[in-house]
Amino acid sequence: MAALIVRWFNMASLLGVSLVLLIAFFYQFVMGELPCPLCLLQRVAFIMVGIGFLMNVRFGSTFMHYGLIVVSALAGTLSSGRQVLLHIVPGTDPYGSALFGLHFYTWSFISFMTILLAVGLIFMVENRVGDARSATAGGRLGLWAGALLLAIVFVNMASTFLECGLGACADNPTVYQLLGWLS
């Protein structure tokens, strides 16, 4: 029973991370809000967390996969926590839109902390982490979820390259640097 819970946890987490990144893309491409450098770091952390869950779905739960998730979630917690602290000072303007009253960097901080808590709880439930018997192929849903995450990775890489070019990203980006060269 615990193995089934862990399998569904990994699949749901992979899809949840993909949903978070798709929402970020919606705000970037539809609402026209370009991500700041700290936002891009948070996206990378979400992608790495997603890759850890994808490896669990495709190859079974191992400590190495969960280690990738934990280290990535810690990096995301640090970058989103720093951004929260930058904008918590009275008189400073927040960056970007709010969703349900909280800005995306605050949601990122909450999400990364939730991921860390959830992985800790999974360690208490799963007694066969790293055991070949806990491996699952993930089935067709696992293949689609993995393909979705990889598509998100490539779109993120392309949009970041268009936004930042080969140099440092602007602190408060308003245009795609490489597309500006075309005009």
State which residues form the domain around 56: 2-182
Give residue 89's pLDDT band: very low, low, confident or very high (50, 70, 90). Answer: confident
How many structural domains comprise the chain?
1
Q: Is the full-model pTM beyond 0.85?
A: yes
Report the Cα 130 to chain-centroid distance in Å: 24
Structure confidence at residue 92 (pLDDT)? 76
Task: List, for residues 125-169, the tens digit of each pLDDT value.
Answer: 776 655 544 555 567 888 898 899 999 999 999 998 988 888 888
Residue 165 belongs to domain with CATH number: 1.20.1550.10
